[in-house]
């Protein structure tokens, strides 16, 4: 079994020594008769040369005693999950605020009929590491004695880039089925390959994910999508049948095989759009964006149910944008995404084809204004999604689409500068409308407001005087 190299030892100790307050915490636990181990992700990331952001510790002390020890060092402690044995604390440190989480050695397991794990506290580090999700997360460093513990060969798996479970994968995934989705996330996040027995167990046990709450599934899916390269993880979910349980719309794209080559591979196209949207996200200076990435994944989910065979061997997907938006909203709602996120993603799916009308014919300024109005606060995300949606290998077509969208963005910027397009409103507000028409608040005010907004879109800024004249003419015709 591999042992720590001097470089790895220095990397681990560097995490501990970087903040002297960790030594104070270690000493307090030692004085109380307990060891304290840095464990899991921080150990793995330090050994991989990655930045360590979270400090997770495990100990034999029970939650009440953990809290007592931490409170002897800082007033800032909180109950993260006492039932799960975790107490958090923050300290003033050299690098700013230092947050640590300390958890009692434990073992989780799921009742076949329950959505929540049963937590049992343990007394040994070896028992705690055995119930960890993967061997690369089952290594620990004592911050009291400096001892490094790796009972399941995590160092070797780290070097090989392999995801294995400390116990048999069937046992590990039965204890917590969400670990199957975590395998997909680590495949993407770490660039590792899941071991064959892990993939086999995920495939055989995919239906066990059904007992996990929608909120936990949502959070794990979100973490996967927010990695730098989520494609391998999504592909693993699809290949093992997990996607069919949690995101069946994505699995349906993979099942949509066209053996005659009459249309492109929708599934491969979708993953390519996701990759290209991430590249654009970075190029345009944005942080990882969950809404935009969800839109890329869902943008074509309306194609399978709208697929029609036309004359001449052609295939059509009429209205797949509208159908897909409804499917997207339904799935994201079931996964307990926020109402705002559901609306934003569904809106992007609904609008993702709108640009193609511009590429095929010149739009008037009014059409450009409508595009901006319909996109609303999702305009930048729509720019990214629409650009990413071009995956054609036809260089001439790709260049034409790229040039057309650059022209559209330029026109939007020009109109925005001239007309305050990002704050598209009528030239008269509701109070002015009521004063001019001599009416009280009600439905007619809304109708008048919408009339003036349409005129603003069609003709650009009217000015208050012309807007007043057109409003009175409209009112007289009513």
Q: What is the pLDDT of residues 360-400, one digit of tens each?
A: 667 888 888 888 888 988 999 999 999 999 887 788 888 88
Q: Is the pLDDT of residue 263 over 60?
A: no
CATH class of 168-246: mainly alpha
| pLDDT at 262 (0 to 100) | 47
Cα separation of 399 and 380, whole Å? 21
Predicted confidence band of residue 260 (pLDDT cuts 50, 70, 90):
very low
> Does CATH place domain 6-160 in 3.30.460.10?
yes
pLDDT in tens, 10-42: 998 888 877 888 999 999 999 999 999 999 999
Minimum mean pLDDT range among 77-86, 258-267, 352-361, 464-473: 258-267
Which residues touch 163 (CB under 8 Å, ≥6 apart)? 134, 136, 157, 183, 186, 187, 190, 192, 193, 194, 195, 198
CATH 1.10.3210 placement within the chain: 262-423
Q: Is the pLDDT of residue 156 over 70?
A: yes
| pLDDT at 133 (0 to 100) | 93
What DSSP string runs through 443-458?
HHHHHHHHHHHHHHHH
pLDDT in tens, 320-332: 999 999 999 999 9
SS3 117: strand
What mean pLDDT is predicted for residues 267-271? 94
Q: Is the pLDDT of residue 341 over 90?
A: yes
Tell me the pTM. Answer: 0.83
Q: Of all residues in the chain, what percent carry a pLDDT higher than 90? A: 56
How many of the other CB atoms lie within 10 Å of CB of 348?
25
CATH 3.30.460.10 placement within the chain: 6-160
CATH 1.10.110.30 placement within the chain: 168-246
Predicted confidence band of residue 259 (pLDDT cuts 50, 70, 90):
very low
CATH of domain 262-423: 1.10.3210
Helices (H), 151-207: 154-160, 169-175, 178-190, 196-204
Higher-pLDDT residue of 185 and 175 is 185
Q: Is the pLDDT of residue 82 over 90?
A: no
The Cα diameter of the chain in Å comes to 89
| pLDDT at 180 (0 to 100) | 97
Q: Of all residues in the chain, what percent carry a pLDDT higher than 70? A: 93
Cα separation of 159 and 240, whole Å? 25
Average pLDDT, the chain: 88
């Amino acid at each position: 079994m591999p042992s720590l190299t001097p470089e790895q030892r220095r990397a681990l100790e560097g995490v501990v020594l970087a903040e002297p307050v960790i030594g104070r915490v270690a000493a307090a636990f030692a004085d109380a008769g307990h060891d304290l181990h840095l464990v899991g992700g921080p150990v793995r990331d330090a050994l991989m040369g990655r930045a360590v952001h979270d400090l997770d510790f495990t100990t034999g002390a029970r939650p009440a005693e953990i809290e007592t020890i931490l409170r002897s060092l800082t007033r800032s402690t909180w109950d993260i999950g006492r039932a799960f044995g975790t107490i958090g604390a923050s300290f003033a440190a050299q690098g700013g605020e230092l947050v640590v989480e300390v958890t009692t050695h434990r073992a989780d397991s799921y009742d076949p009929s329950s959505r929540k794990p049963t937590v049992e506290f343990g007394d040994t580090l070896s028992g705690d590491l055995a119930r960890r999700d993967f061997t690369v997360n089952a290594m620990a460093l004592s911050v009291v004695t400096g001892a490094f513990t790796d009972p399941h060969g995590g160092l070797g798996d780290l070097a090989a880039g392999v995801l294995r479970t400390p116990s048999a994968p069937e046992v590990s995934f039965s204890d917590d089925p969400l670990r199957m989705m975590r395998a997909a996330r680590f495949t993407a996040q770490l660039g590792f390959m899941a071991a064959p027995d892990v993939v086999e167990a995920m495939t055989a046990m995919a239906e066990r994910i059904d007992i996990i709450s929608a909120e936990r599934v949502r959070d794990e899916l979100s973490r996967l999508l927010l990695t730098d390269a989520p494609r391998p993880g999504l592909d693993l979910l699809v290949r093992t049948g997990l996607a069919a349980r949690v995101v069946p719309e994505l699995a349906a794209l993979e099942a949509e095989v066209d053996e005659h080559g009459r249309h492109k591979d929708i599934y491969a196209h979708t993953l390519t759009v996701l990759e290209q949207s991430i590249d654009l996200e970075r190029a345009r200076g944005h942080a990882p964006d969950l809404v935009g990435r969800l839109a890329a994944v869902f943008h074509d989910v309306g194609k399978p149910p709208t697929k029609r065979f036309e004359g001449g061997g052609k295939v059509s997907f009429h209205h797949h944008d509208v159908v897909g938006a409804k499917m997207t909203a339904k799935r994201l709602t079931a996964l307990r995404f926020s109402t705002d996120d559901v609306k934003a993603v569904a809106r992007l799916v609904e609008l993702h084809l709108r640009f193609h009308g511009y590429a095929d014919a010149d739009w008037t300024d009014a059409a450009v204004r409508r595009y901006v109005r319909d996109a609303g606060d999702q305009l930048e995300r729509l720019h990214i999604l629409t650009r990413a949606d071009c995956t054609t290998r036809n260089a001439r077509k790709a260049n034409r689409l790229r040039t057309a969208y650059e022209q559209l963005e330029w026109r939007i910027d020009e109109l925005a500068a001239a007309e305050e397009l990002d704050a598209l409103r009528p030239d008269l507000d509701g109070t002015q409308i009521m004063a001019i028409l001599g009416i009280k608040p009600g439905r007619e005010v809304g109708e008048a407001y919408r009339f003036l907004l349409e005129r603003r879109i069609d003709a650009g800024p009217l000015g208050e005087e012309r807007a007043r004249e057109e409003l009175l003419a409209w009112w007289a015709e009513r």
